[in-house]
Amino acid sequence: MKIIRNRLIPPKRFDAINLFGVLFCRDSSRVTLRVIRHESIHTAQMREMLFVGFYVWYLAEWIVRIFMRGNAYHNISMEREAYENMYDDDYLSHRRPYAWVRYLKK
């Protein structure tokens, strides 16, 4: 995964953001292996949805979850998959395609 450090992307309240498989980090942020694994899971999701599909679905699900109870960001199925599996070193080697779908109902 390519990592680009800069002062502009992501916005100040975030440490990192994955845009089309490239990880953008603030100069001051600490990028841990856990963060890289989390973002690598998102990259796998992006690839299987041909990138644009990922962003369309992510935004649509976020909008729906704003009106539901809890934190919209943490309740997005793709985030749930990434957070739940970012501690597993081998997750991407045994991850099934569209694994995030099973997190929709949680």
- Give yes or no for a cis peptide into 11 (omega within 30° of 0): no
The residues spanned by each domain of the chain are: 2-103
Cα 106–64–21 angle (5° rounding)?
A: 80
Strands 22-26 and 16-19: antiparallel
Give pLDDT tens digits for 52-85: 999 999 999 999 999 998 899 999 999 999 999 9
pLDDT single digits (tens) 24-51: 999 989 999 999 999 999 999 999 999 9
Q: How confident is the model at residue 13, as a pLDDT? A: 87
Give the H/E segment covering residue 47: helix 33-48
pLDDT in tens, 78-106: 999 999 999 999 999 999 999 999 999 86
